[in-house]
């Protein structure tokens, strides 16, 4: 990481913790930055992050992958089926392999036959849904512990790590409620509390992607297939092969995301993905087709989901409202400094509305948190889409020698 980049990263992290800390102090809700919250947020974020990363691989090579949802579904099924019979690691492998089959199907339709990519992806989603429901009834109905819509439990566990020597003192520090310090302590402790090996693998896959796609000749060629395949072809890049590799790997990542979901809930269940493939796609756009931003988007989804689901005192959603308001004010302030008056006014008005809501209601229904990530994504797209830059030939069917 260059000096400038790491300075920006530290700056962003510092701002994020400060905002979280302000919110936690005002609401007095320790859950917002507690060890357990952060640890759980990582579990919720990882499958989404993997789907987003899968999207990056396909779209950087110029293939829009709406079929992520279907590939994830295949992954959940593969993990449930193989994991039940041969253990959890077989489940991981089968999830990846099933996802790869979905990716291969998309590559055949979209790359070889040049079918509209969104259409091909939609077809794959349909096919995956039907196939898994069909196979679930056939394979799991009579299996002990299984049912028509779910597999028997997956055998074995993925190892998880807890660094007691870090987690215990930091969690104690978190409970003291000191501004900034305690929140930072909770955040850090959460990273080392019941940390799944699969989460570590997810993290490594992000690092690997950043390196492979942006620092190697392989990555340059792959991205050139998504920016200008005709120019790439004229320089001797085997565009079709790169597209195939990227889309199949995309399927593998989505399949791994699906396997993560099944393993986290210890069974395969119909509908377990619940649109996470699409959410992954959103985080990818949110993150400007780059790993860092995509991960940030996935963590946002995971964090909000966690707070909604562990909401014991019905106060977490309220905390989220205040958090959102403070973030909106902060962005509004930045916009003012950049002399973007109209956007600034928009953000400040929205922020004020949320502050008003925060102080006028005693609690909020969980549905608010349910839709919050989607509204956030829309807001980000609405304000930043002029700055987002998808690969230039994203979604354009490519045929060798067929320049247009």
List of residues contacting another protein (CB under 8 A):
66, 105, 109, 113-116, 118-120, 122-131, 133-134, 137-138, 275, 278, 281-282, 285, 365, 367-368, 370-371, 374-375, 377-378, 381-383, 385-386
CA distance 371 to 317: 11
Cβ nearer to another protein, comparing 198 with 344? 344
**Contact between residue 185 and residue 171 where contact means Cβ atoms under 8 Å apart:** yes
Cβ nearer to another protein, comparing 196 with 376? 376
User: In the bound complex, what is the minimum distance in angstroms from residue 197's beta carbon to another protein?
Assistant: 31
Residues 6+ apart with CB under 8 A from 194: 39, 160, 161, 162
User: What's the residue count for the chain?
Assistant: 404
User: In the bound complex, what is the minimum distance in angstroms from residue 378's beta carbon to another protein?
Assistant: 5
**Contact between residue 24 and residue 30 where contact means Cβ atoms under 8 Å apart:** yes
Cβ nearer to another protein, comparing 266 with 343? 343
Tokens of 377: 């994504």
User: In the bound complex, what is the minimum distance in angstroms from residue 351's beta carbon to another protein?
Assistant: 19
- CA distances from residue 301 to 40, 268, 294 in whole angstroms, order as listed: 12, 22, 11
Closest by CA to 59, choosing from 122, 118, 126, is 118
* 196 backbone dihedrals φ, ψ, rounded to 5°: -75, 145
What is the DSSP code (8-state) at residue 269? B
Q: Burial, 339: exposed, middle or buried (Cβ in 10 Å; 0-12, 13-18, 19+)?
A: exposed
Cβ nearer to another protein, comparing 193 with 289? 289
User: In the bound complex, what is the minimum distance in angstroms from residue 12's beta carbon to another protein?
Assistant: 24
User: In the bound complex, what is the minimum distance in angstroms from residue 52's beta carbon to another protein?
Assistant: 12
Cβ nearer to another protein, comparing 20 with 285? 285
Cβ nearer to another protein, comparing 28 with 275? 275
* 269 backbone dihedrals φ, ψ, rounded to 5°: -135, 135
CA distance 119 to 92: 29
User: In the bound complex, what is the minimum distance in angstroms from residue 48's beta carbon to another protein?
Assistant: 13
């Amino acid at each position: 990481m260059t000096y400038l980049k790491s300075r920006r990263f530290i700056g962003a992290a510092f701002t994020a913790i400060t905002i979280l800390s302000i919110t936690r102090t005002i609401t007095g809700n320790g859950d917002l930055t507690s060890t357990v919250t952060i640890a759980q947020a990582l579990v919720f974020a990882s499958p989404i992050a993997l789907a987003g990363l899968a999207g990056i691989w396909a779209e950087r090579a110029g293939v829009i992958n709406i079929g992520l949802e279907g590939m994830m579904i295949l992954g959940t099924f593969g993990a449930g089926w193989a994991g039940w019979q041969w253990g959890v690691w077989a489940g991981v492998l089968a999830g990846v392999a099933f996802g790869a089959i979905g990716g291969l199907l998309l590559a055949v339709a979209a790359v070889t036959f040049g079918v509209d990519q969104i259409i091909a992806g939609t077809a794959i989603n349909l096919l995956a849904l039907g196939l898994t429901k069909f196979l679930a009834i056939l394979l799991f109905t009579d299996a002990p512990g299984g049912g028509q819509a779910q597999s028997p439990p997956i055998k074995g566990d993925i190892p998880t790590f807890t660094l007691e020597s870090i987690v215990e003192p930091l969690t104690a520090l978190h409970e003291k409620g000191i501004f900034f310090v305690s929140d930072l302590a909770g955040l850090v402790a959460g990273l080392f509390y019941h940390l799944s090996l699969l989460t570590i693998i997810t993290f490594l896959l992000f690092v690997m992607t950043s390196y492979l796609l942006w620092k190697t000749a392989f990555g340059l060629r792959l991205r050139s297939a998504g920016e200008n395949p005709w120019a790439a072809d004229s320089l001797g890049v085997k565009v079709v092969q790169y597209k195939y590799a990227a889309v199949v790997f995309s399927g593998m990542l989505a399949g791994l995301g699906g396997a993560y979901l099944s393993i986290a809930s210890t069974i395969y269940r119909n509908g377990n993905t619940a649109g996470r493939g699409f959410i992954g796609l959103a985080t990818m756009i949110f993150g400007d087709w780059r790993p860092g931003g995509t991960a940030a988007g996935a963590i946002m989804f995971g964090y909000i989901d966690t707070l909604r689901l562990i909401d014991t005192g019905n106060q977490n959603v309220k905390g989220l409202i205040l958090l959102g308001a403070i973030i909106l004010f902060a962005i509004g302030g930045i916009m003012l400094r950049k002399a973007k008056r109209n956007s600034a006014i928009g953000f400040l008005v929205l922020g004020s509305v949320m502050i008003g809501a925060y102080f006028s209601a005693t609690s909020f229904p969980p549905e608010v948190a349910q839709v919050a990530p989607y509204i956030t994504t829309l807001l980000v797209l609405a304000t930043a889409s002029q700055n987002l830059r998808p690969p230039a030939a994203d979604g354009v069917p490519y045929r060798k020698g067929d320049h247009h």
